[in-house]
Amino acid sequence: MNRSTDVRVKDTLITYEEHPFRVPLKFGGRVMDKHKIINVQVTVETRDRKKATGLGSMPVAPVWAWPSDKVSPDQAEKAMCDFAERVIGLAESLDEYAHPIDMIFLISAEYYHLGKVIAREHKLPEPVPPLAQLVAASPLDAALHDGFGKVLGRNSFNTLTPEFMANDLSHYLDEQFKGEYLDRYTLREPQAKLPLYHLVGALDPLTPADVKTPLRDGLPVTLGDWIAANGLTHLKIKLNGDDLAWDVERVLAVDRVATEAQAKRGCKAWFYSLDFNEKCANVEYVLEFLKKIQASAPQAYDRVQYIEQPTHRDLKAHPDNKMHKAAALKPVVIDESLVDYESLLLARDLGYSGVALKACKGQTEALFAAAAAQKFGMFLCVQDLTCPGRSFLHSASLAAHIPGVAAIEGNARQFCPAANKIWAREVPEMFEITDGTVQTGVLNGPGLGF
């Protein structure tokens, strides 16, 4: 098929930047205190020799993408960066003109083998896991979509129709999607604004009494200060998952602080998401936790909008971790386990009722997951990877173009705000938060929208 809008890769560039965190972020028993960012630049060319350059960016974040007792975070980071560079090489080697979706679909077939090769060459005791593969490849994925939209002078989310795509969704997913394209599951114009989820890490001070070392950098420090400064209405609470008493008290403490802060600003409705980062032993832990929250503070229980992946990410190895009982009470979303369509179907069978989309898993994979989640009537949210700058704008653009997304995350402003400075001047509507929302309506330009 000779599609005049298809492109091929003409040139690429990969660079890295590092940013220390303002304060450490603790989640799932692990602490992250810095970011290494992968930036990818891709020049694409159409058959009639039109060219444009697309950009993609994403933190490596091995502590989240590749938690391991056998591979250190530094080793994982080096292997993931190597993986990113080799994936770019695969894109350069493609001779065919194609849509970015098809490019990534072809390239991703090599990820499994590449993960084993890199592990062997780096002398690692385990291959690069699927989640780390997706994170490492995501800057290229974003750059291809961005460049494709720019060379056509269109927003990338408006290039998902039969006019531009050679295959319908059944080619990538299954026959349930016969005759359907991604335009059916995306918006032509971004939502005007979306609520922003603020992260309450396990180490974050809730009150002035919790502050051990004042920062004095002009930014809020306590939860109450953040709520007042940003007009926050959505709080994501990081929990331990293996200490029931601590987890219950943490939610109750957050609720006490939030109730006082919201009363001062006259806010009557706000929400929580609860993130156990896979640390719960089983669903019974979640049920007992919810029972205690409801008994101690019914209003806090009512404010829980959804629960993120409570148990281990390896669903096949833990088939007893069924979420049906918890999902009957609150939406339970799949996060770390979600690496492809097969994992989404398995999670759904195990009782998960929602999907957490992340740009760090790749624009292409996120679009597939968004389509499937809508098809199956699942709860939808978009989360980030403490994404700063361009990677946050990518994440927000994804959220704004998917129908039904409840809210988005954007916690780089808390943990590595210095990485946002340039973009905050370029797109202030996305970084200056005053009413608890992000003005995503501005993300309607060519490419990924910004």
**CA 237/CA 249 separation, integer angstroms:** 12
For the segment 40-66, the average pLDDT, to the nearest whole number, is 97
Tens-digit pLDDT profile for residues 230-252: 999 999 999 999 999 999 999 99
Q: For the sheet with 51-59, list strands across it.
A: 7-27, 30-46, 51-59
State the average pLDDT over residues 101-125: 98
| pLDDT-based confidence at residue 62 (cuts at 50, 70, 90) | very high
Rg (CA), the chain: 21
**Torsion angle of the four alpha carbons 120, 126, 128, 129, in this order, in degrees rounded to the nearest 10:** 160
- Over residues 325-352, mean pLDDT: 98
pLDDT at 216: 87
What average pLDDT does the structure give for the chain? 96
> φ and ψ at 353, to 5 degrees?
-115, 0
Say whether pTM exceeds 0.85. yes
Measured between alpha carbons, how far is 120 from 126 in angstroms, rounded to an integer?
A: 8
Q: Which domains does the chain have, with CATH numbers?
A: 7-175 (3.30.390.10), 194-442 (3.20.20.120)
Per DSSP, the three-state class of 200 is strand
pLDDT over 90 at 30, yes or no = no
Summarize pLDDT for 354-375 with one digit per residue, the tens.
Answer: 999 999 999 999 999 999 999 9
Six token digits for residue 344:
């989404």
Which candidate, 274, 386, 382, 418, places its Cα nearest to that of 25? Answer: 386
Q: Note the helical H segments in 46-158.
A: 62-65, 73-93, 100-108, 111-121, 130-152
User: Which residues, 6 or more positions from 225, have their beta carbon under 8 angstroms from its beta carbon?
Assistant: none
Mean pLDDT within 173-197: 98
Q: Which pLDDT value is given to residue 31?
A: 86
Q: What is the 3-state secondary structure (H, E, C) of 293-334?
A: HHHHCHHHHHCEEEEECCCCCCCCCCCCCCCHHHHCCCCEEE
β-pairing, 51-59 vs 30-46, is antiparallel
Q: Is the pLDDT of residue 406 over 90?
A: no
**Distance (Å, whole) CA 414 – CA 428:** 16
3-class SS of residue 102: helix
Say if CB 223 and CB 261 are below 8 A apart. Answer: yes
Q: Note the pLDDT of residue 115.
A: 98
Q: pLDDT class for 2, splitting at 50, 70, 90?
A: low
Tokens of residue 179, six digits = 């005759």
pLDDT score at 4: 82
Q: How far is CA 61 from CA 67, 136, 421, in A?
A: 10, 9, 20
pLDDT of residue 28: 73
Which residue's structure tokens are 């409705």?
269
Q: pLDDT (tens digit, 9 = 90+) per residue, 277-326?
A: 899 999 999 999 999 999 999 999 999 999 999 999 999 999 999 999 99
Nearest to 410 by CA among 378, 432, 441: 432
Cβ neighbours around 342 below 10 Å, total: 12
Residue 138: per-residue pLDDT: 98
CA dist 224 → 92, 107, 230, 231 (Å): 50, 46, 10, 10
pLDDT of the residue at 1: 46
Kindly state the average pLDDT of the residues 78-97: 97
DSSP letter at 127? Answer: P
pLDDT over 70 (residue 106): yes
